[in-house]
Structure 1
Amino acid sequence: MKKTYRHIFFDLDHTLWDFESNALQTLKDIYSSLRLCEFGIEDFERFHQQYILHNDKLWERYRNGFIKVDELRWKRMWHTLLDFKIGDEKLARRMGDEFLNLLPTRTILFPHTNEILDYLQRNGYSLHLITNGFEATQHNKLKYSNIDGFFSKVITSEGSNSLKPHREIFEYAFKITGANASDSIMIGDNIEVDINGARNAGMDQVFVNHISDQPDQNATYTVYSLLELKEIF
């Protein structure tokens, strides 16, 4: 017998909004507009891979409270430039600003995103977001992707002063939505951040395994496509 849920909390990046594809297009534009080739970065693919490496490391440090938001925003570019022996802080900060200006305007969503959000909304579920992203950036992603109308509340790490997987951001989400852990479920792609975080807050979870990675045996549900959510709700 299926459990009855009232509130569905989605992660945004890597779950609904295709961060990798959108970031790639944004970095290509920055590489071209700022003429990074003239600075000695002749291999865009290497530049892209080094950015991913540093971005992931710095996001982990940010989640664990070791660095502030501003450091994350420009130092991922700074460390990438250093890999090419370019010690130009001004350029790194400009790249960071350009990235945050352009990225939220990208509109690539995972397949069936609109279909499943419409399905869930029509079936009476209250839809919300819990995201570790920045307030203005995440709201702009939703607006430009034309999915902002599906969500009653958008809880960001910046707005809640907490981060997934910490329990505080989930408790904040319950407070402003009027939800309870018992009638809520979290849908996300990151086992540590989304799945374990929600479990520790007392919520059921859906692991969205877009990349067909090793499934989390402890997740309440696992899906490999957003369309499979219709089998749960």
Structure 2
Amino acid sequence: MRYKHIFFDLDHTLWDFEANATATLQELYAEYALEKRGIPSFDTFYASYSVINDKLWDRFRKGFINRNELRTKRFSMTFLDFKLCDDRLCESIGARFIELLPTKTALFPHCTDVLDYLRDKKYPIHLITNGFEETQRLKMKHSGINDYFTHVVTSETAGSLKPHREIFDYAMKLSGCTAAECIMIGDTLDVDILGAQQAGIDQVYFSPKPAVGIQPTYTIQSLHELKEIL
């Protein structure tokens, strides 16, 4: 076996963030009667939220905003797109989103099958995620994949965010492995793949689109393809 330890990203790699976030936001759109507040449809609400959330996560990874700012601004800025300004509403819906989202259970196809395969092959399986500690733990618990992982490294526990090398070094030290002995599987080129490259770790880019600019060690379109690599 070339690799002795497997590192996974969680969101968009194992746990279907888009499907789960969409379901959560649909509940919130109805629960807070946002149509009556001037947001004409869920689709327009979701489209605006998605663009703003992606931008704020990029700023968070770069250290320009903190966790609380991310959690409130993604809704306050979305509401401003619809000329809606309500601080109490933003705080309430932001807290409710964090409460509901981790209870959603959609995983990518073949997720548990591949995790079973890797466990049967005696690979120690770990997570490296930029998500928040409590939230990520709840996602894993509710979706039934909590018991697969030996170590769960979040940006909070490591004191660093992907793609910075420190979080990968922390994960390797915790797992007791070297860069040559492990491989990172993730969906984001400039976060998971670039970060692993900078730490000297081989990578698997999980995406339906080909890599551009950054060349990963492997590229897959389905988690099932990991069986051909590992």
TM-score (norm. length: structure 1): 0.96
Question: Which residue of 2 is the match for residue 37 of structure 1?
Answer: 35
> What's the CA shift for 1:214?
2.5
Question: Which residue of 2 is the match for residue 80 of structure 1?
Answer: 78
- Write the distance in 2 (CA, Å) between the matches of 1:51 and 1:35: 16
Question: Which residue of 1 is the match for residue 210 of structure 2?
Answer: 214
- Write the distance in 2 (CA, Å) between the matches of 1:141 and 1:166: 24
- Write the distance in 1 (CA, Å) between the matches of 2:147 and 2:184: 19
Within 5 Å, which residues of 2 pair with 1:83-232? 83-209=81-207, 212-216=208-212, 218-232=215-229
- Write the distance in 1 (CA, Å) between the matches of 2:128 and 2:12: 13
- Counterpart amino acid of residue 225 in structure 1: S
> What's the CA shift for 1:175?
1.4
Moved over 3 A (4+): none
Indicate the SS of the match to 1:14: coil
> What's the CA shift for 1:157?
0.7
TM-score (norm. length: structure 2): 0.98
> What's the CA shift for 1:37?
1.3
Per-residue deviation, residues 150-205 of structure 1 (Å, max 9, x unmatched):
00000001111110000000011011111211100000000000001000000000
Q: 1:22 aligns with which of 20, 43, 59?
A: 20
Per-residue deviation, residues 76-129 of structure 1 (Å, max 9, x unmatched):
001000000011111111111011000000000000000000000100100000
- Write the distance in 1 (CA, Å) between the matches of 2:140 and 2:165: 25
Across the aligned residues of Structure 1 and Structure 2, the Cα RMSD in angstroms comes to: 0.9
Question: Which residue of 2 is the match for residue 12 of structure 1?
Answer: 10
Gaps of at least 5 residues in structure 1 are none
